[in-house]
Chain A
């Protein structure tokens, strides 16, 4: 775990927003992620993928902010998918009994297929 300063990049694939949180997902960066998602939701996007391939460490505040995103999406009938999590990250969600509230995919491709967008 070599937590780097947090950045959030994103892109649109058809009607799906893919977010790439990078580094340490804590309160500060988590807020960044929430507002990035918020911007997409405002434009009518209902499908969001969070790709964790570049995320090092998610702390409990980061997790609570992800829950926040999920809630916001749910109110508009949208879907949130997580991809590219490592074993420890998955383990943390498992420890907290949160796996049933999210959809996890091994990679972005699988999530895009599930959401009915194509993988480029």
Chain B
């Protein structure tokens, strides 16, 4: 519904892009511009941008007629599509000329009822178009019908003497145009080629995922004559302004620093900013502090609109349920590793065979899931994985997600990766040494901590049946607390499975190994063992007492 964008005063930060596209028709007429592919990740505001452009042209422009069409809501059975495309165009054209927004969205009104109005507006050629289209429909040629619909904006531009700016949203869905069932008439998208070439009829095309959009436009016929415009995340101050105005509208107050934290986490995505504000409202929060925001966030990821949004994207783009689990595992693997790894190894690590693996990898690429550094998508995937693959409960998942971001303000965090090779654990021990010095730890305690870490690394190496010979370490310190997370791939173990027998028993049984966890537990205040995807994470926690710090 092109005229129902958010109010212009609430629309932030895209003035330059809007100004450029408002001039697109005249630039194109002078061959100074091409058609525009509007590129950006999901939720960045592509649809909203088109709506803003539409409204602005609708009210302010005399000679450029805006036409907006979204393939998302379109019927993709080709004959229905053709009628829909045509009818929407006619109505939007009439609405523009008459400056009567009602007609833009009134899909229930049959076209013939508009004919008297069209006639009084002096648009007799449009009546001819309607007749022509009707004839084509009656003759029943599939391609004829679609072409006739698609070429209407061009005809209107030529015969009406006003350029038409065609905005095609969710164009990626046009790939699914079909005759009677999905996939029976591939290539219908290329029918847009002719109309896109016409300089009286500039096109702005967008959709998600970008990779799919780019794939459609890699077709040489469409590739020529398109330029790319990228929509970027909102800058921090704008994002904050948006977030605070949304919350203010709902009369919700909040702590500024905590809000900034969340904004940084969602990386300036207007969709997420809006979702987070709504989550605060749904959870009936007020005076939001860090903890409240953290709860809103985990709610959003697990049960909120963000979860709903990604679930529907997933089920839309990954229709095959079987591949879905493989995709989840692949994604989890990437999230955990931050790398892709070669196919042969992936196949072994995940226990997924070709050609299923290739199929899953292709689906990842095409849907822009793979290279994404969207933290909410990652958290969503993780929570889905926890639920669907590991059978964790909502409460457990919420705790895990909240803990992930629970970093005290006065903390410092170091991460390192060590190989599983002889004495690599000493490198980690050296790191603890310096980290301990930074917070003035008493040297004796530091030596114990080093040993605990060494033991944990050795244990990780012994339990690793993995191809990946690496240990991931993360040190988080505050003046009161040192936490070391040691993650390693390979066989899983739990504290129970590691139950080390008491010394007496060991000595009589002649069994001398297995002191590692006993030491860790004696040295640390807490030792946790968790399974995170295909890694085991051991967390060593030491609360630092006053007498353990050098004066």
- Residue positions of A touching B, CB distance < 8 A: 1, 3, 24, 26, 28, 57, 59-61, 63-65, 67-68, 71, 87-88, 91-92, 95-98, 101
19 contacts between A and B (CB under 8 A): A1-B447, A1-B450, A3-B429, A57-B426, A57-B447, A57-B450, A59-B454, A60-B514, A60-B515, A64-B512, A64-B513, A65-B512, A68-B512, A88-B447, A92-B519, A95-B519, A95-B522, A96-B503, A101-B507
Return chain B residues, CB-CB under 8 Å to A26.
423, 458
Query: What 0/1 readout, one digit per residue, does chain B (489-530) give for beta carbons within 8 Å of chain A?
Result: 000000000000011100100101111101100110000000
Q: Given that A60-B519, A88-B448, A101-B507 are contacting pairs, would A67 and B512 also be in contact in the complex, using a CB cutoff of 8 Å? A: yes
Query: What residues of B have a CB within 8 angstroms of the CB of A28 in the complex?
Result: 422
Greatest chain B CB density within 10 A among A28, A65, A67, A87 is at: A67
Q: 5 tightest CB-CB pairs across the interface, nearest first?
A: A60-B515, A64-B512, A97-B503, A95-B522, A88-B447
B444 interface contact, C-beta 8 A: yes
Known: A1-B450, A24-B426, A64-B512; 15 extra A-B contacts, CB below 8 A, are A3-B423, A24-B423, A26-B458, A28-B422, A57-B454, A60-B458, A61-B513, A63-B515, A64-B515, A68-B512, A87-B444, A88-B444, A91-B448, A97-B502, A98-B503
The chain A residue with its CB closest to the CB of B521 is A95
A95–B516 Cα gap in the complex (Å)? Answer: 11
Query: Does the CB pair B429–A1 fall under 8 Å?
Result: yes
Q: With A26-B423, A87-B444, A92-B519 given, is the CB distance from A61 to B507 under 8 Å? A: no
Give A71's nearest chain B residue, CB to CB.
Answer: B510
Report the separation of the CA atoms of residues A3 and B513 in the bound assembly, to the nearest whole angstrom: 22
CB-CB < 8 A to B446: which residues of A?
1
Report the minimum CB–CB distance from A43 to chain B (whole Å): 25
- Given contacts A57-B451, A60-B455, A68-B512, whether A95 and B422 have CB atoms under 8 Å apart is no
A35-B328 Cα distance, complex, nearest whole Å: 51
- Give Cα A24–Cα B447 distance, bound, in whole angstroms: 13
Instruction: State the Cβ distance, B436 to closest chain A Cβ, in Å.
Output: 11
Contact of B433 with A by CB under 8 A: yes
| Given A68-B512, A88-B447, A96:B518 Cβ within 8 A | yes
Q: Which residue of A lies closest to B522 (CB)?
A: A95
The one of B510, B513, B523 in contact with A95, judged by C-beta atoms closer than 8 angstroms, is B523
Bound together, the chains give a CA A93 to CA B458 distance in angstroms of: 19
Which residues 453-504 in B have Cβ within 8 Å of A in the complex?
Answer: 454-455, 458, 502-504
Assuming the contacts A64-B512, A95-B522, A96-B503, asked whether A59 and B451 have C-beta atoms less than 8 A apart, the reply is: yes
B267-301 vs A, CB cutoff 8 Å, 1 = contact: the mask equals 00000000000000000000000000000000000
State A87–B444 Cα separation when bound (angstroms).
8
Q: What's the least CB distance linking B443 to chain A, in Å?
A: 9
Complex-state Cα separation, A71 to B506, whole angstroms: 13
Given A59-B455, A61-B513, are A96 and B519 also a contact pair (CB < 8 Å)?
A: yes
Say whether, besides A57-B450, A67-B512, A1 and B519 are in contact (CB < 8 Å): no
* Docked complex Cα distance between A26 and B513 (Å): 12
Closest residue of A by beta carbon distance from B517:
A60
Residues in A whose Cβ lies below 8 Å from that of B454? 57, 59
Report the separation of the CA atoms of residues A4 and B6 in the bound assembly, to the nearest whole angstrom.
67
Residues of B near A24 (CB, < 8 A) are 423, 426
Which chain B positions have C-beta within 8 A of A1?
Answer: 429, 433, 446-447, 450
A66 closest partner in B (C-beta): B512
Between B450, B454, B504, the greatest number of chain A beta carbons within 10 A of the residue's beta carbon is seen for B454
- A69 nearest CB across to chain B (Å): 11
Q: Which residues of B contact A57 (CB under 8 A)?
A: 426, 429, 447, 450-451, 454
Which chain B residue shows the least CB distance to A94? B522
CA separation between A19 and B522, bound complex, in Å? 29
Residues of B near A87 (CB, < 8 A) are 444
Q: How far is the CB of B451 from chain A (nearest CB, A)?
A: 7
Write the nearest CB–CB distance from B298 to chain A, whole angstroms.
38
B447 touches A59 (CB 8 A): no
Q: Are A3 and B426 in contact (CB under 8 A)?
A: yes
Q: Which residues of B contact A96 (CB under 8 A)?
A: 503, 515, 518-519, 522
Chain A's closest residue to B447 (CB) is A88
Of A59, A92, A101, which is in contact with the most chain B CB atoms at under 10 Å from its CB? Answer: A59
Q: Which residues of B contact A59 (CB under 8 A)?
A: 451, 454-455, 458
* Minimum C-beta distance from B57 to chain A (A): 72
Of B455, B512, B516, B518, most buried by chain A (CB within 10 Å of CB) is B512
CA distance A60 to B461 in the complex (A): 14
Q: What residues of B have a CB within 8 angstroms of the CB of A91 in the complex? A: 448
Known: A3-B429, A95-B522. A60 touches B447 (CB 8 A): no
